[in-house]
Structure 1
Amino acid sequence: MDETDDLSWADAWPGDGPELGEIYCLTFIKGVDEAEALRRMGGLPGTVATRAREDVADLHNYDDGYPEVALALPLGTWTVVFEPNGFQGSHLVEVLSRGTEAVSVLRHDYASPSFEYAVDGVLITGFDPTFPTYRHGADPDRLLSRMRDVGFPEDEEDEAVDDPIARCLEVVGDLTGVLPAFDDLAGPLTSAHIETWFVEAHPVQTTRPGHDGPVDALAEVRRLSGLHGLTDTPGLADALAAAERGQAVAVTPDSPLGGHVRAWLTESRRASWAPNDPSARHRQPEAERLRGNGLGWLAKALGAALQPHRAL
């Protein structure tokens, strides 16, 4: 693309002009306002505020618990959720699309960038922008003509793609009729800390660290809550009993149990980020780091236990 293109910022590197960094996610949801878009992303009560991109960066510290933060920008009948240094929208696009449509573009220069388009809970088309000939979803070729129009290659022999994120956003613009300007994303915008644990979605399938084979999530929650002295956590016993009876269990962020889950997840983030944070690595003793890792696993196990299949 020409460097004067309005989307030149999408793939820009520091020093190349306006840029959003090497990791960011833009998720467009149709027919919802900013508050609903953030709620669907797991926006936490009490954290909603007007913030600029720089304010979000300032929150990435030990005292604030390294929260994930999303900003919402209304664009006509759509709202775009911007995650600086984040990627959750790309994983939640099917959930976000329930009753509507959602499309997410993730730039991630060190892992897997993605384009995901979903309608009413079903992924229609998804692909890696750097390998666009390999598509997946219920209708992987639904957007093929649009992809060709913006310059994505027609076959895998011509796989090199210049400005892949900008090209993805051009496809989004064709789908939605709207696109944000760079200055719009700088804010200030309505924002919230997000915690996807509270979003109705299938938990990641995994196994207990150091354990071969599947783990029963209910048993794992009971084991871990006992290990960490948390069996009396308000609401925990009732939630596990209801799940064992096969009843649906919803834990909201502002419920007593939800408040404890939020605290566990914060300690888990501190345990993950502090060792690589020069200003904070001395603040967390090894015992606290290990406990934080355990609390993160407890929260994950609880999320799985409250799902119908209850397997980790």
Structure 2
Amino acid sequence: MRDPLAPFRWLEASPADERGLLGEIFCVSLVRRLDPAEVLSRLDPVSPAETMTFAEVCGRARACFEEAGDVRYVGVAQIGQWSVAVEPWGGQAALSTMTPWPARAGEVVGVGRSDYARHRFAYAVDGTVATAFDPAEPERRWGDDPDRLNRLMREAGLEVEPPADESGGESWHGRVTEHPVARAFALAAGITGVALTWTAVSGLPFAGAALRHERGRGGRRATGLDRSADIRRWAEAHGLPMSERGRIAATVAEQAEDLRDPPGRSG
């Protein structure tokens, strides 16, 4: 029997693996009806766009991440009616809910992986988030129309509610937390018709450019984490490892906004 998640498992690969070029923190947005040049311009690049391969985009993004500076790197490619914006080794620029896409974009699908924080999925229509959730907790959704994708979610193995029989809750949770990132990209494929397989993505020409890493967009200023002691306490509270201090500080700055309790999760 064919494994429906097999085409997307490479998106869960470790950076040590041959196909783990995107890193352990990345985000991808699929934007309908905008070409790559316009998508890239709306991300406010600070360098001229260059045509490059997927591997080159990932290599530059990793170098920016490891320098822990104020620059990130993004690449945008075209597949059919969709532009695919990829931010390897970062979570700021490409996620749909962080960018003021024009209403004519129609639909935007954003998927974010973070091995340090929450994974993310967001689906926006005409500039408004219809539904968003952590793929590891698909029953906790928010947005203007949180049930809009329920049928497609079930087809991707993202169960929209726990079983009525509480005795099966533990095994159910174990199933839905297996391969959450692969399931999120399977859902994205169900919405867009674009399957981001290794073969498809690795062969695309990308327009790549550097972006300014704006701390106010999910970083320290946005969350009030202005002191190193605050960052350390916050990271420890969320189970982030404290080795490689500089790298963790950058990760915390990028992921702090996403670790807030989403609507309906307090208490």
Are 1:189 and 2:190 matched, yes or no? no
Distance, in Å, in 2 between the alignment partners of 1:206 and 1:15 is 32
Q: Which residue number corresponds to residue 49 of structure 2? A: 48
- 3-state DSSP of counterpart to 2:61: helix
Return 125-134 or 166-175, whichever deviates more: 166-175
Q: Which residue number corresponds to residue 13 of structure 2? A: 12
Structure 1 position 24, deviation (Å): 1.1
Structure 1 position 117, deviation (Å): 0.5
Distance, in Å, in 1 between the alignment partners of 2:225 and 2:16 is 43
Distance, in Å, in 1 between the alignment partners of 2:124 and 2:99 is 6
Unaligned residue ranges in structure 1 (runs of 5+): 211-273, 278-312
- 3-state DSSP of counterpart to 2:90: coil
Distance, in Å, in 1 between the alignment partners of 2:161 and 2:196 is 30
Q: Which residue number corresponds to residue 251 of structure 2? A: none
Distance, in Å, in 2 between the alignment partners of 1:181 and 1:85 is 19
Unaligned residue ranges in structure 2 (runs of 5+): 163-168, 228-243, 248-267
Distance, in Å, in 2 between the alignment partners of 1:58 and 1:209 is 25
Q: TM-score with structure 2 length normalisation? A: 0.67
Q: Which residue number corresponds to residue 63 of structure 2? A: 58
Given the alignment, which residue of 166, 183, 188 partners 1:167?
A: 183
Are 1:76 and 2:80 matched, yes or no? yes
Asked whether the 8 Å contact 1:41–1:96 carries over to 2, the reply is no
Structure 1 position 148, deviation (Å): 0.6
Asked whether the 8 Å contact 1:93–1:104 carries over to 2, the reply is no
Summarize the Cα distance change of 1:196–1:133 in structure 2 as closer, same or farther, 3 Å threshold.
Answer: same
Return 4-13 or 179-188, whichever deviates more: 179-188
Q: Which residue number corresponds to residue 86 of structure 1? A: 90
Asked whether the 8 Å contact 2:42–2:99 carries over to 1, the reply is no
Task: Give the counterpart letter for 1:86 in structure 2.
Answer: G
Distance, in Å, in 1 between the alignment partners of 2:60 and 2:99 is 29
Task: Give the counterpart letter for 1:119 in structure 2.
Answer: V
Distance, in Å, in 2 between the alignment partners of 1:4 and 1:126 is 21
- 3-state DSSP of counterpart to 2:41: helix
Distance, in Å, in 2 between the alignment partners of 1:59 and 1:22 is 14
- 3-state DSSP of counterpart to 1:6: helix
Q: Which residue number corresponds to residue 98 of structure 1? A: 103
| RMSD across aligned positions (CA) | 3.4
Distance, in Å, in 2 between the alignment partners of 1:67 and 1:94 is 17
Asked whether the 8 Å contact 2:96–2:124 carries over to 1, the reply is no
Q: TM-score with structure 1 length normalisation? A: 0.58
Bigger-Rg structure (1/2): 1
Distance, in Å, in 2 between the alignment partners of 1:195 and 1:3 is 37
- 3-state DSSP of counterpart to 1:155: coil
Distance, in Å, in 1 between the alignment partners of 2:26 and 2:224 is 29
Summarize the Cα distance change of 1:94–1:118 in structure 2 as closer, same or farther, 3 Å threshold.
Answer: farther
Distance, in Å, in 2 between the alignment partners of 1:135 and 1:208 is 26
Structure 1 position 60, deviation (Å): 4.5
Distance, in Å, in 2 between the alignment partners of 1:165 and 1:178 is 16
User: How many pairs were matched up?
Assistant: 212
Structure 1 position 94, deviation (Å): 6.0
Structure 1 position 206, deviation (Å): 5.2
Task: Give the counterpart letter for 2:36 in structure 1.
Answer: E
Given the alignment, which residue of 142, 146, 150 partners 2:152?
A: 146
Task: Give the counterpart letter for 2:181 in structure 1.
Answer: I
Q: Which runs of 4+ in 1 moved over 3 A?
A: 1-4, 14-17, 58-62, 91-94, 183-188, 204-210
Q: Which residue number corresponds to residue 37 of structure 2? A: 35
Structure 1 position 23, deviation (Å): 1.1
Structure 1 position 59, deviation (Å): 4.1
- 3-state DSSP of counterpart to 1:47: coil
Asked whether the 8 Å contact 1:72–1:79 carries over to 2, the reply is yes
